[in-house]
Structures are given as C-alpha cells and as structure tokens.
Chain A
C-alpha cells in the first residue's frame, strides 16, 4: 500500500543522472547499504515495499521521452511487481494482501499437491470412465473440448486453510493465515454430459475421481452432487490449466473442499458406495472432542477476511483508510459483510463489489478514518442460507481444537499505535 510513495519522474532539465543510477559508489551510499544490510528483516521489508533498485536503475527518468519495448508473444508482469506465492514443497499460498478484485492470477493461485506437480503431455492424457456405466469410455483431452462447454467463476479453498489458527494466532500475514483460497474462471464440460455419454447405471450412487499424479490422489464424490454441479475443466482464466492446477484436466466441485476437485484427472469410476480412500478416511476428516471424526465434510462454509489492513502491513499515519477484503461461501452467494473497527463491539455494513457470484470470492470495502489509536479490525460475512460466519470461540465450543480442517472463523487484525498490523485472537 506504499505504491504512491515512489517519486514522480524528474524533469530532466532540473537535473540529474542520479535518479537513473542511485547506487553510486559514494561513501554515504556504501554506509547506507551496510546499515540496511545489517538487518535481513529490513532488507526484506524494503524489497516488499519499494521497487528494486535494479528496476529503478533501468527505467528512464521520463518514459514519455524514450521509445518503449516491442510487442511480446507472451506477456509478463511489470518488473516492479513482486507479489509471489509463499511455498513449501507440497503447497504454496496466495498473496491475498497484494491482490485486487476477485480473480486470482493463474500464476498466483494457491497450490496443494501430494507428491509433486506431474509433467503431462496432453496428447497422451486420457480420461477413463468406467464402473457402473453401460459403456466404459475413454476420452482424449481434445475430445473433451469438443463437448458443449461451460465457464464459471469459482473459488477453490483448501479445507486446511487457516488450519494452523485453531490454537492461537500463528500466521503473521493474511497470506499465511488465509492463502489457501483462490478464484479463477474455469472452463470445461459438465460431468453430467460425460457420464451420460457413458450411460449411468441405476445402482451407481458414488463416483471415484483419481488423478494421474504420483499420489494418484483419489476422492469419492456422491453422484447426485457431482451430476448437479461438477465441471471437468481444461481451462483457467482463458488459457489451459496451469500445471499446478491440474493440467490438462481437473474436476471442479464449486464450493467444496479443494481436495475433492481432483487434479490431473484420469479416471472416473461409478460405484454403489464410497471407496474409503486414505484421503477421505485418515486425512480430510475432522476429529471432534468426543473422539469421533466427521467424514465427507464437503462444503466450505462462509468465510471472510480483511486483506487491507492485514497482518504485517503498516498504516503510515492516521487518516482515511479503505478497508478491503474478501468473502466467500460454498453454499451460494454472500449476502452481506459486516466490518468492525472496534474489536467486535459494533459493526457496519461493507459495500460489496458487483457482481456477487455464487461460490466465488466477493470483494468488500468500507471507508474508515483511523484516529491513530490502537484498535482491532474484523469482518463477518453472511450467506444466502442465513449462515453467519462464526467466531473462533463459537467453533471451538462445538468442535474443540483438533479438527484442523474447516476453520472459517472471524479473523482479527490488531492495529497498534505505530500503525503496525498484527494477527491476534480475542
């Protein structure tokens, strides 16, 4: 949010070459560099907030007086932009604090995989449909693209999003606490179209979906729900899926936990009952205080989070602040979002950016004057079923703290008097 801090391009007549090359070898600059470098944190923070010196050095003082670059075959973002996913070997988190609107750029869509991103030649990829069908079928990707197509915007959220927050504030930034959700426009053919092509036998009640990654990740889906809403997707935001998102084919169950949207999809098998795979028994199940575990917890319940001001950010000074955030629900549309600037004592309705789409990120905004005092910001969303986003205490009272998945609690950001924003639980 310091984008406006960069000085305007200088008028060349007023002087000087230093704006093109600020890192001259003067003793002063060397001392400044050494002082800055003495703190790794300071270097990192500076890198996040301002253009890199290398980019600054190569940009003309007045771009209106220098011919620009030629057309390029495949675009890249501005060299001054550095938003990136936060990665481990098995997942990466979307930098929600650096995004605008509701679409997640494909390159920043979160990742979760269970044994790496496979390298798949779409010419060799096949989808097998078998089990309780009249005619087992095989489709190539090109064949799937010939069927009537559908596009829709939808969020995908990992059920483990915010999973580390059950036992106290762990993530520093909204990327760390909420970065396992993203929204794309997805295009493909409806599951119903493909299954009807093979012919569904009346005994079929469940569908096993299997990926061709090195985990052969497998989930059982109730057939009725799949026929109603599932899409076999080959495109994301207008171009073929990214490899991390299942290239060349993935399942999409809008509003359901991300792991049901099986990526690198190669097999659909119709069955009478669930396969009880490892993912749907030992992993994506929610342990309750009485020792039982909820199974097939598909819906992602209504959730919202303020992305500005959010953890790790800094308000420069008291004054106008537009509070911005995202809300979403796996059960339809968001109807309204309340924002509190006093730790939940009072709430104001935020404006929702239109259009508000079902099973899709919804952008909310609220104008606010920060008076420079310490306070706590929260957002609370409602969906069209009447469900209201709960507090963490409400959730813990019923589920305890060991269920890990499906934490959709209200997030609190504390602003201290110095303008710094911190993740807190109240």
Chain B
C-alpha cells in the first residue's frame, strides 16, 4: 500500500496537475479547429449563404417573416395554383391536395397534404422552392403563408381564422405526423442459397 506522506497535496503538485489539465483543454480546442487539407475553394459569405439557404426545418427554422390568411390564400390559389390542381384542389390534373383522410389502409389510398404529409413546414418549403412549375421561387412569403393556410384549412387542419407565420406554422399538427416508420428491410424472408 502507498504511504500517506507520498501523496500529500503540496501546492507545487496541485499547480502541476492544473497546468496539465489546462494544456489538455487548449489542445482539445485546437483539434476541433478547421484545418483544410488542400486549400482549394473559398469561404462563403453570409450573403451568399442567405441567397440559397431556402430549406425550412420541421421546427420552423428558416421560415421568413411575414404572414398569410386563409382568405388571402384562396385568391393566391385561384390565380396561381388552380390551373393545375383544379378549382378546389381535388380536380387535378396535378396531385390532389385535399381529402383522403382515413384512406391509407383502404384499397384506394389517397395521399394528400391532409391525409399523408407529416409536417406543415414541408408545405411552405416545397411551394416556395418548386411552385408554380412555370415560375418556381417567385412567390412572396405572404403568398406562400397564405396558400399554405388555404390548403390546411381546406383539409380541416386549421381554423379559417388562423394566421400563419414563422411561429404558428411549425405548431400546426398534421394528422399523419406519426404515420412514418424507418426502413425495416430486408423484410422478405431469406432462402437457403
């Protein structure tokens, strides 16, 4: 066994230990610094990132300021969307946006925003980035919030009086939010080769 006097905490011993600990912390911090290998390319500016950083996360991160109402959305829909999705969002020819609730287990599942989409934020993301087909990324935040509100209202997900903005949109609960599971394949039993 060790004798007690061999391990007395003298001031010089404590200082040595502290020095080692601080050195280790400094060295760990240095390791996490960015050390490019090839030095090819250049740093991106905040303005360049802002110009392209259009994705909207399920928690609402990325949503711009602005707002939209169901009433405004009806006008946006009629003027910009109805020619492809139909007068009320169910006629097509492009994907049906409304209805289909409780059909996913039937012989004719109808996958719409209301019956299938798990996050309301995805609707904002997609409409801004890709709609309308002939002029993607042309709608204003107000137009997108408004038409999202109209589609969600028509699906019975929000009230007609709801105003959508960066705070209220991520709070919208989608009926099929818990309908998705991770990949469980290979799911078909293997045979003996």
Chain A interface residues (CB < 8 Å from chain B): 114-115, 128-130, 133-140, 143, 146-147, 193, 196-199, 202, 208, 210, 214-216, 218, 266-267, 269, 271, 273, 275-278, 281-282, 285, 287-299, 301, 335-336, 382, 385-388, 390, 394-395, 398-399, 402, 406
Contact = CB atoms under 8 A, between A and B. Distances in A.
B105 to A, nearest CB: 4
Contact of A197 (B37, B49, B53, B185): B37
Q: What's the interface size class on B, roughly?
A: 35 or more
Contacts of B44: 128-130, 136-138
Contacts of B117: 281-282
Contact of B105 (A138, A140, A290): A290
B179 A138 contact: no
Contacts of B43: 135-138
B40 interface: yes
A275 B55 contact: yes
B129 A216 contact: yes
Interface of B: 32-38, 40-44, 48-49, 52-58, 104-105, 109, 111, 113, 116-119, 121-122, 125-126, 129-130, 133, 136-137, 179-191, 193
B48 A128 contact: yes
Q: Which 4 A-B pairs have the closest CB atoms?
A: A134-B34, A199-B34, A278-B126, A291-B104
A281 to B, nearest CB: 5
Contact of A281 (B34, B35, B180): B180
Contacts of A215: 129-130, 136
B130 A216 contact: yes
Given A128-B49, A295-B183, A301-B186, A275 B36 contact: no
Contacts of A297: 183, 185
Interface of A is mostly: mixed
B65 to A, nearest CB: 20
A285 B180 contact: yes
A276 B121 contact: yes
24 contacts: A128-B44, A133-B34, A137-B41, A138-B44, A208-B55, A216-B137, A269-B55, A273-B57, A278-B130, A281-B119, A285-B180, A289-B105, A291-B105, A292-B179, A292-B180, A293-B179, A293-B181, A294-B184, A296-B182, A296-B183, A382-B193, A386-B193, A388-B191, A406-B185
A277 B55 contact: yes
